[in-house]
Every structure is written in C-alpha cells, then in structure tokens.
Amino acid sequence: MSGKVKAKIGPSILNADLSQLSDESQRLLDCGADYLHLDVMDGHFVPNLSFGHPLVKCLRAKIKDAFFETHMMVSKPQQWITPMADAGVNQYTFHIEPVDDVPTVCRKVKEAGMKVGIALKPGTPVEVVTEYIDKVDMVLVMTVEPGFGGQKFMESMMNKVSWLRENYPAMDIEVDGGVGPSTIHCCAKAGANMIVSGTAVINSSNPANVIKEMKDSVNEALGFWYLK
C-alpha cells in the first residue's frame, strides 16, 4: 500500500426500492456515488435475509462499470466467493467473527479476482486485524450491530477508526451504520475514507447534495491526517 486514500461514498442499496434496483442504483451513481454497497444477509449470522448472487448478477448485467462491494453478513463467507465473483463483484467484504481461518478466505477471495475487505462487529477488538492486515485491501468498522437498519450510530467506534488510520495510514477504512450528514464529521475526523450511507442518501430529496457534503467533509479531514 502506498500513497493517500481518497474519500469514497457508497450508498447501501438495501434501503432502496428493490423492485426498481437497477434504476435506483443508476440514479445514485448519477448523483455522485463512488461505489455500491450490497448487503448480503443469510438469516443466520444476522437474523434478517436480503439477497444473494443471482440478484447481484442481474444488477451487474444492467450496470456494467460501477464498483460493487458485497458486505457478507453470513456465517460461511467461503461458500459465496465463487458465485459472487461470477456475478461481477469487485470487493468481497466478510465478517471475521464466524471464520476459523481468515487468511484462507482472504486468499480465495484474491484468487477469485476480487479485492478483500474484513468487517468488525462493534464488540470485536480492532487489534485483531494486525494478523490479517497484509492480506486485505480494506477494513470495515461497523458503527451499528449488523443486520438491522435504523439503529443509532455508535460514536465510540471512532476509536477503532482512528487507531486504524494511525497505524495503517494508506489503508482504506470503511464505516457502516447510521452514517449521514449529522454523523459524517466524527467519521471523517477519525480517519474513515469509505463511507456507507443508507437512508440518509436514499431518502433525501437531493441525494447529490448529501453525497457531495459527505465527500467534502471526508476529503477535508483526510487532508489534516496527511499533514500530521
């Protein structure tokens, strides 16, 4: 890893109208979204179900060029690596909590041609990433418990983000859960550069403005980080 990271805003399409998913996704990209964050839930690791690789493949057929990140809230992430790669996913982000052999999953994701992201639930200590950091492209710090929308943003998770930015200045660090205009400043100040936002973008009357506001906030804060 070298150089500086960039601010990227990735709307969570789980909050969009799933019956109009390709149109909704394209609208968000046209409004300035940098990537699409696809929440995959198995009803086991988290209580809810969302969608799987067939839907992602259909979405890729309509949207050729956008960067797709799948957030795998599943108990057996190794099970979906090949299908998601085949569906056109660019980055495969999985939770380390249910996985016995994280390095092997990372290697298989890379071999399938995708970038690797590892995700941490709020109760997982951030220091666990040290043994995997050379195998991943991004770390996702959950700012709510995974699997439910509309939860209150956990500001205490910003300690994890700032620890990661201090120790791995060139790492992509993502935050997900309750992030929007009212919470973006503390995420940016802590050093997050990849911002997942659901309802704050999707339900806005002007998504382009919300995306621009959040990106500007992150870029400004990153400037301070790299001046340190």
Residues taking part in catalysis: 39, 176
**What are the residues facing 36 on neighbouring strands?**
68
**Cα dihedral 36/27/202/182 (nearest 10):** 80
Contact 70, 94 (CB under 8 A): no
Q: Which two tokens stand for residue 5?
A: 């990271």
How many helices (DSSP H) and strands (DSSP E) are in the chain?
Answer: 8, 8
Contact 81, 108 (CB under 8 A): yes
CA-to-CA distance for 100 and 211, rounded, in angstroms?
Answer: 37
